[in-house]
Amino acid sequence: MTDKNHSKTKHIRNFSIIAHIDHGKSTLSDRLIQTCEGLTDRELKEQVLDSMDIERERGITIKAQSVTLDYTAADGETYQLNFIDTPGHVDFSYEVSRSLYACEGALLVVDAAQGVEAQSVANCYTAVEQGLEVLPVLNKIDLPQADPDSVAQEIEEIIGIDATDACQVSAKSGIGIDALLERLVRDIPPPQGDPEAPLQALIIDSWFDNYLGVVSLVRLFDGTLRKGEKVRIKSTKGDWVTTEVGIFTPQRKQTGILRAGEVGFLVAGIKDIHGAPVGDTITHSKTPDVERLPGFQKVQPQVYAGMFPVSADDYEDFRDALEKLALNDASLAYEPENSDALGFGFRVGFLGTLHMEIVQERLEREYNLDLLTSAPTVVYELAMNNGEVNYVSNPSKLPDMANVDEMREPVVRASMLVPQEFVGNVIAECEKRRGTQLDMQFLGNQVQLTYELPMSEVVMDFFDRLKSISKGYASLEYNFERFETAKLVRLDVMINGDKVDALAVIIHRDHAHSRGRLLVEKMKELIPRQMFDVAIQAAIGSQVVARSTVKALRKNVTAKCYGGDMSRKKKLLEKQKAGKKRMKQVGRVEIPQDAFLAVLKVNDD
């Protein structure tokens, strides 16, 4: 790196904002945009970075997005700030490390009234490991309960970075934002890179736009990229001519040029959605030998579920939609699945159950599909009698157990930060879920608990449960450790004597009876009464462990409206029709979506 090159990038700052969910990343991003005059007050009201409807409704950030801003600092110089918003939920830490890869610095935003949470710790370690300069930012100092001094101390004790002169801000009211921008320009190093060198750009994200084709978010490490140039995608060796090059402000703005160190977008008329994969390297067609950047680690899905179109005619559309979504979401995996009960669909792999819900919602809203989802499951390892090792992510595909030597379940190492008063609750919950305590440390007012837990007990509803038993304060971070032998069985569910493959679950033998009982009870509440009795049974092999019956309807539902108010009758029928949308006829019985997910709601307290 020569000084000459450095001088060309010295006014660029690339950074991410990392934080635990709800600590104020989106609010701070918006405030930075406004301060740099990228936005009017009215526009600020809409959380611009959370552009997808679902994100806005749920108030969470799913996809990383970038924004380029001009900031004129106190030294009179104008800096180009490129920042990438990152998601905060435990299911999406993969996206965080991806965003950090394109940056030289990160703002670690911690709610000064809440303190450090496990997710901030994990993300901060990722940033430090990737060599980023981390600036601690204490947010929400406008709140009366904010305690910036002790939170700064917590940052030092728990994360181990210097927080003595951490920026104190209120993203909501604007306090401290100017000082933060000055610090950012001063402390985050400019990117290295030579605009004259051969082009080397990393695809941080790609998504499909119906008009433009594939749009890619890129970070240029070296070289200069212009509109109208011929570029090469390294992995596919495909050559394309760029039709649009520019930045996000946060709206897409064509500038026609991107230089070393910058972050922006590129459109090159790529219509094949596999044409510009995330993590790939782009160069000019004339310099095909430029080295590939390391790219991103491929993430393994942790949870699998079957997804089936309610109407079989939608199968092709469903496949197209999954293909498009997978381009935008590299963590999504899928393969065709055929269920006796639900027909043709796909087995889809997710990072967690929140990810699963979001994917289902996106498929339904953005692609106009009606889908049924079977209960999610983790991947099990099977040691077969013949020495082979197999993996199963679908309970109904378990082989004949006579050929299986041993069944192993995935185990995670979970790290939780909990205020002292809730530690008892959290320990009890971990024990109930077959956890083994590895460590417990007192750090200021908080306790850091480390447990080994079966992944199946963590991915389903543990995070929600943890929040509810700690008044929202406990936080969680976990990683896959290994497969461990466990006494596992498949619990089958029979409806009027017929085994319904999409309802089978794999569970621990010691829980099988109690959960089986709770499951049939829950399903009894969820399956609507029909014209005949519906028997629900849970069985392990040929042994029925629980049973229950949904009694037949005695009268026609509309009978009581007979001769009376027709509009009421119509309403009732419409209501039934709407309810039916998310049902599937299995044999003679109509089973609603909720019943397929009943196992998630079964908690043997």
Known binding-site positions for GTP: 22-27, 139-142
Cβ nearer to ligand GTP, comparing 17 with 423: 17
Q: Is 16 in the site for ligand GTP (CB under 6 A)?
A: no
b/e map of 66-93 (b: 16 or more CB within 10 Å)?
bbbbebeeeeeeebbbbbbbbbbbbbbb
In the complex, least distance from residue 57 CB atom to ligand GTP, rounded to whole angstroms: 12
| 8 Å CB contact between 549 and 523 | no
> Could you tell me which stretch among 53-61, 389-397, 460-468, 469-477 binds ligand GTP (CB under 6 A)?
53-61
> Could you tell me which stretch among 59-67, 204-212, 551-559, 596-604 binds ligand GTP (CB under 6 A)?
59-67
| 8 Å CB contact between 413 and 438 | yes
Helices (H), 140-296: 148-154, 177-187
In the complex, least distance from residue 172 CB atom to ligand GTP, rounded to whole angstroms: 3
Residue selected from 61, 80, 93, 353 as contacting ligand GTP according to rule CB under 6 A: 61
In the complex, least distance from residue 529 CB atom to ligand GTP, rounded to whole angstroms: 40
Cα dihedral sign, 469-471-473-477: positive
| 8 Å CB contact between 506 and 375 | no
Q: Is 44 in the site for ligand GTP (CB under 6 A)?
A: no
| 8 Å CB contact between 413 and 479 | yes
> Could you tell me which stretch among 19-27, 249-257, 303-311, 569-577 binds ligand GTP (CB under 6 A)?
19-27
In the complex, least distance from residue 31 CB atom to ligand GTP, rounded to whole angstroms: 8
- How is residue 89 annotated by DSSP? S
In the complex, least distance from residue 581 CB atom to ligand GTP, rounded to whole angstroms: 30
- For ligand GTP, the binding residues in 300-329 under the rule CB under 6 A are none
Cβ nearer to ligand GTP, comparing 123 with 339: 123
Residue selected from 12, 18, 48, 60 as contacting ligand GTP according to rule CB under 6 A: 60
What crossing angle do the helices spanning 423-432 and 462-469 adopt, rounded to 10°? 150
Cβ nearer to ligand GTP, comparing 23 with 232: 23
Q: Is 142 in the site for ligand GTP (CB under 6 A)?
A: yes
- Residue 216 is encoded by which pair of tokens? 């890619």
Q: Is 200 in the site for ligand GTP (CB under 6 A)?
A: no
> Could you tell me which stretch among 2-10, 56-64, 235-243, 440-448 binds ligand GTP (CB under 6 A)?
56-64
- For ligand GTP, the binding residues in 150-179 under the rule CB under 6 A are 170-172
HEC states along 301-350? CCEEEEEEECCHHHHHHHHHHHHHHHHHCCCCEEEEEEECCCEEEEEEEE
3-state helix, strand, coil in the chain (%, to 5): 30, 35, 35
In the complex, least distance from residue 22 CB atom to ligand GTP, rounded to whole angstroms: 4
What are the binding residues?
22-27, 139-142
- How is residue 564 annotated by DSSP? S
In the complex, least distance from residue 524 CB atom to ligand GTP, rounded to whole angstroms: 36
Q: Is 59 in the site for ligand GTP (CB under 6 A)?
A: yes
Residue selected from 24, 176, 345, 376 as contacting ligand GTP according to rule CB under 6 A: 24
> Closest Cα partner for 527 from 484, 586, 572, 480?
586
Residue selected from 27, 65, 200, 206 as contacting ligand GTP according to rule CB under 6 A: 27
Cβ nearer to ligand GTP, comparing 25 with 259: 25
- Strands of 5-140, DSSP E: 12-19, 65-72, 78-85, 105-111, 133-139
Contacts of 204 (CB under 8 A, 6+ apart): 64, 66, 84, 98, 99, 101, 102, 217, 218, 219, 263, 278
Q: Is 21 in the site for ligand GTP (CB under 6 A)?
A: yes
In the complex, least distance from residue 358 CB atom to ligand GTP, rounded to whole angstroms: 12
Cα dihedral sign, 160-157-87-483: positive
- For ligand GTP, the binding residues in 82-141 under the rule CB under 6 A are 88, 139-140
343-350, strands of its sheet edge to edge? 333-339, 343-350, 303-309, 371-373
Contacts of 407 (CB under 8 A, 6+ apart): 380, 381, 382, 383, 485, 486, 488
| 8 Å CB contact between 502 and 511 | no
Number of residues lying near ligand GTP (CB under 6 A)? 19
Cβ nearer to ligand GTP, comparing 107 with 159: 107
Cβ nearer to ligand GTP, comparing 25 with 490: 25
Q: Return residues touching ligand GTP (CB under 6 A).
A: 19, 21-27, 59-61, 88, 139-140, 142-143, 170-172
